[in-house]
Amino acid sequence: MGDSVITRSTLVEKLRDHQIRNHNKWSLLGLFSHRPYISTWVEVIVALLWAFIFTMFMLSSYLVYYLNHKWIALVIFFIGILIPIRLRSARKYLSRRGDGRMQLPLSM
């Protein structure tokens, strides 16, 4: 029966290990993920897709600027900058929404 009892310190240790493992594995792609932590390969592919789209916006804005269309380049640049900003707000929303469900009662 001693092995089946889950203590609070064991839960905290497992949660910390899980967060460290997932946070360090894809920390650079975390900027382009809509979730707080990247845990599946599908999330990695989605983050890579957003990174590719962001890179294409930045490269196309530089190309348009080189062709002396400064206002169009500025619009494309700001649309590209909105991608990581929007993904960051989605991460904050999902982490706030998930906090209420993830809390365990202290009586456990």
Token pair for 43: 């999330």
In this predicted structure, what is the pLDDT of residue 78? Answer: 95
Local structure of residue 34 (DSSP, 8 states):
S
What's the pLDDT tens digit per position in 2-57? 456 778 888 888 877 776 665 555 566 777 777 766 777 888 888 889 999 999 99
Q: Do the Cβ atoms of 93 and 105 come closer than 8 Å?
A: no
In this predicted structure, what is the pLDDT of residue 94? Answer: 75
Domain locations along the chain: 8-102
Reported confidence tier of residue 1, pLDDT bands at 50, 70, 90: very low
H and E: helices and strands count for the chain? 3, 0
Rounded to two decimals, the pTM is 0.62
Neighbouring CB atoms inside 10 A of 52's CB total 11
Tokens 């592919």 — which residue? 45
Spatial CA neighbour of 90 closest among 58, 47, 48: 47
